Chains A and B, each alone.
Chain A
Amino acid sequence: MKDVSFGQYYPVDSFVHRLDPRLKLLFLIAYIVAIFLASNFYGLAVCAGALIVIVVFSRIPLGKVLRAVKGVVFLVIFTAALNILFYNGETVYAEWWVITITKEGLIFSAFLALRLALLVVCSSLLTYTTTPVSLTDGVESLLTPLKWIKVPVHALALVMSIALRFIPILMDETERIKNAQKARGADFESGNIFKRVRAMIPILVPLLLSAFRRADELGDAMDARCYTGGNKRTKYKKLRFGWRDLIAFLVGAALIAGVVLMKIYLPAPY
């Protein structure tokens, strides 16, 4: 079994696991707003603190959480590096050709990297602690108003949950096909960009064919189990807003309020 940490549910029983998925979704949105509102390190520190609390309550092992960051570490370093090198600040530490490294640049980069990391950790916590089914139920429930303007909310939610179910399978499959072609001497690592794109064909064609075949079979299996769309359907797992959700809601609201207050009353340190 290959390592597919992104989007994978981590099955333990915890406070966070039991929260209403709608609340978790809304909290994620609010959290994202908060980290972008936070204009200084105090604000981010509060956000980070809140996240640490959530991690503790979710009983997800720290390694697992950090691994989510590992997936985007390149992106974080890349954007941070760009900012360090090209940010126009006043306190210059080093200068070379078009590149200047300034104090402001460094701070801004650190800020950005932290934001990104928090963002990724918070979103992966959502998928770690929420089964795809309840996640899609949450999305479906939150999007219900859109049904009024004839948006096929149920179908969209189902597509999302099936996608989540099949991501690991298709990732495994990609790996398998890639290995099979490598065994036939395929080279995916050398040459210019065009050559590399061309080299992907022996992976993409079988992968697409397989995805279509799987879709076809899954369709039959769903039909055979009386699937006819969302109309007559009932749900085994009802979403319920309980006392846990109330606590989480209050904490979330306090967090946002805190960040906003800090933005107003504490001047930015740079």
Chain B
Amino acid sequence: MRIVAEHLSYVYNPKSPFATAALRDVSLTIEEGEFFGIIGHTGSGKSTFVQHLNGLLRLPSSLKKYKQKKLKKGQTPPPRTVLKVGEFDLTDKKTDFRALRKSVGMVFQYPEYQLFAETVRDDVAFGLKNFSAEKPSDEQIDEAVRAALEVVGLDYEEMKDKSPFDLSGGQKRRVAIAGVIVTRPEVLVLDEPAAGLDPLGKKEVMELLHKLHREWCKTVVVVSHDMDEISENCTKAAVFSEGRVHCVLPPKELFRRADELTGLGLDVPLTAKLTTALAKRGVEIDCDFTTEDFIEKVLAVWAARKGGDA
């Protein structure tokens, strides 16, 4: 499913002293099959944007107002807001939001805090039962839960009857992710999926996302403020700043603009820091900013230099 947003705006607490524009005229397209990164500070609008994707935040009432407000002479009408996820038109109130939510899985920050059922099996099955038109049979549930747990790297037989609250932090997060992907959504959106984990846990979660991208969900959208996570994993990334989309580029091009990102108060990945520092010392490394490629290119330059000396 292709995600298209045009001229999307959103204000929290409209008409109050705390009114904050979370999104200002955001236009962004995410193609099917992408591993898409959304970068920005806390409060840059990135979380607000992704919550629109499955209709948790409904399009603003301002849409209606635009229609009602009579245009004065010479005034151009405000650009039409578009928000489409595949065939779903989210500007249309008649859209089947349940069907949408089934196709767009959403993993929130610290998803382990949404666990509630007595057993892991029941918790993972929650979404499945909710989204099924007819009540699924026990066998169907078993099968789906088994598949979901296995893809997140947990053993079904060992886990199914355990209380989700007796698991370790990392396991809880996996169970929570299983509870979202169990309905096989086409698009999987994750808000800071690695937040609060130790470096090893972070690495494991990112590996899991790649596996899901390969085997399970066509499109993966990751919200993150960790630039290394983005440079290492994403095919494309959008930079949010103060409710606007600053740019949308593949990491290879994005992190060439290190100065620009620093100007927005954002970090750059380690590989970008290193290439900048090397460029200052007269060593040009033309890499795509993944660790692998960086090492390869550095070694290539080194080998060439050695060859030249010999």
Contact = CB atoms under 8 A, between A and B. Distances in A.
Interface of A: 1-3, 5, 10, 61, 63-64, 67, 176-177, 179-187, 201-203, 205-206, 209-210
A209 B12 CA distance: 28
Given A184-B180, A201-B116, A1 B12 contact: yes
B206 to A, nearest CB: 21
A184 B130 CA distance: 7
Nearest to A180: B114
Contact of B101 (A64, A67, A182, A201): A182
B111 A179 contact: no
Contacts of B18: 1, 3
A176 B108 contact: yes
Interface in B75-111: 98, 101-102, 105-106, 108, 111
Contacts of B98: 185, 187
B12 A182 contact: no
B114 A67 contact: no
A38 to B, nearest CB: 31
Contacts of B61: none
Contacts of B179: 184
Contacts of A3: 12-13, 16, 18
Contact of B113 (A5, A64, A67, A206): A206
A29 to B, nearest CB: 29
A10 B16 CA distance: 12
B64 interface: no
Contacts of A202: 114, 116-117, 126
B4 to A, nearest CB: 21
Nearest to B129: A185
Given A3-B12, A182-B101, A64 B126 contact: no
A7 B216 CA distance: 46
Interface of B: 12-13, 15-18, 20, 51, 54, 56, 98, 101-102, 105-106, 108, 111, 113-117, 126-127, 129-131, 165, 179-180, 183
B78 to A, nearest CB: 24
Nearest to A199: B130
A182 B97 CA distance: 10
A205 B165 CA distance: 11
Given A1-B18, A63-B15, A205-B116, A183 B106 contact: yes
B180 A67 contact: no
A180 B116 contact: no
A185 B20 CA distance: 29
Given A180-B113, A202-B117, 16 more contacts: A1-B12, A63-B17, A64-B16, A64-B17, A176-B108, A177-B114, A182-B56, A183-B54, A184-B126, A185-B126, A201-B116, A202-B114, A202-B116, A203-B116, A206-B113, A210-B113
Given A183-B56, A185-B127, A185-B130, A67 B16 contact: yes
B254 to A, nearest CB: 29
Given A184-B126, A184-B130, A187-B130, A61 B113 contact: no
A197 to B, nearest CB: 15
A2 B129 CA distance: 30
Contact of A185 (B17, B115, B131): B131
A84 to B, nearest CB: 30
